[in-house]
Structure 1
Amino acid sequence: MQHTSEPIRTNTRGRRALRLRRYRYVGFSRRVWQRRAVFLLGAIFVGLAAVGFAKLSDKAQALYYAILNQWHWLPLVMTPLGFVALAYVTARWFPAAAGSGIPQVIAARASSNPAHRQSLLGWQTMIAKIVMTALALVVGASVGREGPTVQVGASVMFAVASFAGIGRHNGLVLAGSAAGIAAAFNAPIAGILFAIEELAKSFAGRINDIVIASVAIAGGVSWLILGNYAYFGEVSAQMIRAADWSAVPICAAIGGVMGGLFSRSLITITRRPPSFIAALRKEPAVFAGICGLIVAILSIATAGYASGNGYGETRAGLLLGEQLPFWYGPSKLIATMLSSASGIPGGLFSPSLAVGSGLGSMLTPVVTFVDPRALMLLMTVGYFAAVVQAPLTAVVIVMEMTSDRNMVVPLMATALLAAGISRLISRQPLYHALSHAYAPKPQHKEASPSRAS
């Protein structure tokens, strides 16, 4: 037995020594340090881009409200024409800048063709995304900048990696997307979870460090410029009595159904539209103009509530417990649906949170025994989790945006139930379903290097 075990111990020591030499080699490898420098520089740029995008979007939205207050009926002309112009420019020159940007990132990560990835994440698309999302807010669309910031973050990392000559982009693209979420919401943990739960749909251990580091750096840049703030302010909602917990299944059911219907409807309109909508979509500018006209009517009828990202209204409801108009949630849902389906650039994150808070506010006169802020928080997370079918991300985003740790368990229960109900209505997650539109075209399906993770 001694003669048999000695070679085994010798081989084990030899393998350990070999692994140690490899780790030492990798630690001092010029290529490894080049990749580290690339993601460090890229993460800083993502943070700067996210902050600049946020400031531009805020000014754009303020400009629309100033126009609406000064010329009340002007949106009836400005909004449809703006939708037409944005949809035409997007379809004609920047097709990868349409919509949220998250489906494009998913498609880019699934693609093994460099030219196809470049078309989805190139610098031209990134600039067009920023400019045209801001213009969409100027003309009164119900869009947000948080989803587009995901594509901007991925594009920044892709550009920096391409400039440095690094061919393995997948990990850096994922890290850039996570950093974009972290910087947009000042929610670093949500950025990491979003990368795992929504974009990757799995956890790859070898990209763990780069994702976390990119999130920390981009979030740090945002923190240095904007300060350490909670996106919606510090909310202090509580559920103390046992009866308060009855709000969890109520909000999960309503949020799950409404979010699932929104997701399924948007997928249907964009991918499998009924014949009359399909006929309209053959003329993208005409379809966008009709969507813009309806959004304009809703905006005028609601004194601007239906337009924009809904940040102010959501903050007033969650932070101050103010009751929103009963029509706010439904009108915001319709305006967001039409803005997203029209083909113009713009995201769903903030408008979806606004819809959720509006639906929660509708319940406050009925469910009077629950703190209105708690009710709106539960409905916000339930509806958002149902739309994106990413419950953990929804919980952490809402928790970090409100700095509220008292509601963690109710929020988790509501998000999981709502996402489950949504899956019964819409089998495929929204962003993954929409990503099929950005799959490689025939000219991109040529032989290409194998995909790297």
Structure 2
Amino acid sequence: MGKSRTYRVLSHWWDFRLKLFVEGILSGIVAGLLVVFFRFMLEKAEVLRDYIYPVLQNNAWWPKAVFFLTLIVIAFLLGKIVRYEPMAAGSGIPQVEGYLSGQLTMNWWKVIPAKLAGGIMAIGSGLSLGREGPSIQLGAAAGQGVSRALRRLRVEEKYLVTSGASAGLAAAFNAPLAGVIFALEEVHKNFSSVVLTAAMAASLTADLVSQNFFGQKPIFHFHDLQVLPLKYYFLLVVLGVIAGVFGVFFNRSLVFTLNMYGKVKVVPEIVKPLLPLMAGGVLGFYLPETLGGGHRLIDSLGSGHYSLIMLFALLAVKFAFTMLSYGSGVPGGIFLPLLVIGALTGDIFGSIAVNLFHINPQYLNNFIVLAMAAYFTAIVKAPVTGSVLITEMTGSFSHLLALITVSMTSYMVVTLLRSEPVYELLLKRILQNRDNAPHQDRGTKIILEIPVCLGALVAGRMVKEVEWPQNCLLVGLKRGETEIIPRGHVEILPGDYLIVLTEGDRTVEVKAALEKLAGETEM
């Protein structure tokens, strides 16, 4: 039965893509509702924090003692959640990438409640973590749940998980286009028309669900954001270099912090969230702007209420608190905190540029926005996603040229410094420190789509002339909109897509071997 269902998928490839479009819509609805609930609870938690701290500030010692005792209980519960479902720890994006590559397993019915409960408690308590990573994982789990409910093959499930991940980002930030590009650039790691179709359907649907609850306004509100004149573009190069260097430092600091937490064997795992929660409890009295993801802090920067000294203090504390929070392993992402750090860097850079080069202060907010894109690019190494994401989050497409300029500068810097993307670093660390290898049935079938690059080893050669990897079967060749049967005499051209069938437990090795054959050759 499994073989016959796989055969039907391959023999009706066009119908399969249309079916994925419909299933993508269904995944987008489920993902959108989950993320809407997640965002709603986090907003209520933020309102509660705003109420609690002023009350505690003006009260006797015993309410403060009760408050910190509550944080201890939350730390214990977070440790229990991570112990119950390790896949719910951290951002969630590396876990989704690991599942899609066949290196990790994921059970949607365990991940969803654990991520929701853990994320609400961790971020809601004030830890410097973002909602986007959990939202992406919730969307991916929703896609997996839809696949299992419809009893689809694992061939379809991987596409639905990817489209669900894009829906999660779209609903988290009201950014459907960024969700699609993120799915292609970071999660799937190549352009696939099948993924594009399903991801676009899921992202748009999830965004409609989200906007129905939260409105159609962009996430960040920068009033009177003017187009930066071309004569100031030399500053974008400088800003890109600074963001690139700081991005490399961010990634290395994050891994260092995780390693330090890992070396602490005296304290049980379930107690490790206690340190950042206690620190956050203290910061709430003295520097509440650094609590949570930092969405409102970015909005406040546009008003210019902070002195240069205060900006440096916020940058240092936010950076350290983010490391402390994420290093504890509780559910929560780094997406939004890194954007906050980028925004603070841009505000400092813009303030200095105004004083040194006598730039009109009306362009100060431009540097805040541009630094967010540059910093995101430096850390994630996804320049297109960064540019589009910030464009959608600010609601203005008139700054796209400046965004691409600063993002590509940052990207070139981190490439020269040989820095790896943060989510790849985190995935490698997960695989090194946890016994969560894939346990897929040998009979499980997976379809891979591998693009043929210019100058690839297989480019210009006939199918029969290529020494194909073991444990895989070339079942299709896609050239534009044309599906070609890969007979032995068919010539493979640059730009083609190899459609390969393999077994689930062989996905990693087969994909690596195919990418060597079809990828760019080193000169």
TM-score, normalization by structure 1: 0.84
With 63-72 and 388-397 compared, the bigger mean Cα shift is at 63-72
Equivalent of 2:290 in 303, 306, 326: 306
Name the aligned partner's letter for residue 288 of structure 1.
P
Name the aligned partner's letter for residue 193 of structure 1.
I
CA distance in 2: counterparts of 1:245 and 1:131, whole angstroms: 45
Shift of the 24–198 alpha-carbon distance from structure 1 to 2, 3 Å rule, reads: closer
Shift of the 442–388 alpha-carbon distance from structure 1 to 2, 3 Å rule, reads: closer
CA distance in 2: counterparts of 1:261 and 1:309, whole angstroms: 20
Equivalent of 1:181 in 143, 162, 169: 169
Q: Does 1:261 align with 2:249?
A: yes
* 1:207 CA drift (Å): 2.2
* 1:235 CA drift (Å): 4.6
Q: Deviations over 1:401-443 (max 9, x none)?
A: 1112232111111112223323455632111221234548377
Q: Does 1:126 align with 2:112?
A: yes
Shift of the 125–24 alpha-carbon distance from structure 1 to 2, 3 Å rule, reads: closer
Q: State whether residues 194 and 393 of structure 1, in contact with CA within 8 Å, keep that contact through their aligned partners in structure 2.
A: yes
Matches within 5 A, 1:158-169: 158-167=144-153, 168=155, 169=157
CA distance in 2: counterparts of 1:175 and 1:259, whole angstroms: 28
Equivalent of 2:202 in 214, 217, 223: 214
Equivalent of 2:54 in 36, 48, 69: 69
Q: Does 1:250 align with 2:243?
A: no
1:360 counterpart residue number: 346
Shift of the 288–221 alpha-carbon distance from structure 1 to 2, 3 Å rule, reads: closer
- Give the 3-state SS of the residue equivalent to 1:201 in structure 2: coil
Q: State whether residues 129 and 345 of structure 1, in contact with CA within 8 Å, keep that contact through their aligned partners in structure 2.
A: yes
* 1:362 CA drift (Å): 2.2
CA distance in 1: counterparts of 2:51 and 2:245, whole angstroms: 35
1:155 counterpart residue number: 141
1:232 counterpart residue number: 220
CA distance in 1: counterparts of 2:174 and 2:388, whole angstroms: 11
1:441 counterpart residue number: 435
* Count of matched residue pairs: 420
Equivalent of 2:446 in 432, 441, 451: 451
Q: Does 1:98 align with 2:89?
A: yes
- Give the 3-state SS of the residue equivalent to 2:289 in structure 1: coil
Matches within 5 A, 1:260-339: 260-270=248-258, 273=259, 278-280=263-265, 283-302=268-287, 304-318=288-302, 320-323=303-306, 325-326=310-311, 327-339=313-325
- Give the 3-state SS of the residue equivalent to 1:118 in structure 2: coil
Q: Does 1:414 align with 2:406?
A: yes
Q: State whether residues 261 and 426 of structure 1, in contact with CA within 8 Å, keep that contact through their aligned partners in structure 2.
A: no
- Identity, in percent, stands at 26
Name the aligned partner's letter for residue 52 of structure 2.
I
Equivalent of 1:141 in 127, 147, 150: 127
Name the aligned partner's letter for residue 77 of structure 1.
F
Structure with a larger share of its residues in helix: 1
Q: Does 1:388 align with 2:383?
A: no
Q: Deviations over 1:362-388 (max 9, x none)?
A: 234321115210121122222222122
Q: Deviations over 1:120-177 (max 9, x none)?
A: xx22211111121111133221112111110000101100111111022111111001
* 1:109 CA drift (Å): 0.2
Q: Note the aligned Cα RMSD (angstroms).
A: 2.9
* 1:87 CA drift (Å): 4.1
Residue segments in structure 2 that go unaligned for 5+ positions in a row: 1-8, 449-523
With 153-162 and 212-221 compared, the bigger mean Cα shift is at 212-221
2:327 counterpart residue number: 341
- Give the 3-state SS of the residue equivalent to 1:67 in structure 2: helix
CA distance in 1: counterparts of 2:295 and 2:201, whole angstroms: 28
Q: State whether residues 263 and 426 of structure 1, in contact with CA within 8 Å, keep that contact through their aligned partners in structure 2.
A: no
1:15 counterpart residue number: none
With 365-374 and 437-446 compared, the bigger mean Cα shift is at 437-446
Q: State whether residues 105 and 439 of structure 2, in contact with CA within 8 Å, keep that contact through their aligned partners in structure 1.
A: no
CA distance in 1: counterparts of 2:159 and 2:369, whole angstroms: 33
Name the aligned partner's letter for residue 129 of structure 2.
V
Q: Does 1:48 align with 2:39?
A: no
Q: Does 1:204 align with 2:192?
A: yes
- Give the 3-state SS of the residue equivalent to 2:292 in structure 1: coil
Residue segments in structure 1 that go unaligned for 5+ positions in a row: 1-21
Structure with a larger share of its residues in strand: 2
CA distance in 1: counterparts of 2:299 and 2:248, whole angstroms: 24
CA distance in 2: counterparts of 1:25 and 1:132, whole angstroms: 42
* 1:355 CA drift (Å): 1.4
Q: Does 1:399 align with 2:391?
A: yes
Name the aligned partner's letter for residue 355 of structure 1.
I
Shift of the 240–262 alpha-carbon distance from structure 1 to 2, 3 Å rule, reads: closer
Q: Deviations over 1:292-315 (max 9, x none)?
A: 33343444331x111111111101
Shift of the 217–136 alpha-carbon distance from structure 1 to 2, 3 Å rule, reads: same
Q: State whether residues 105 and 151 of structure 1, in contact with CA within 8 Å, keep that contact through their aligned partners in structure 2.
A: yes
1:13 counterpart residue number: none
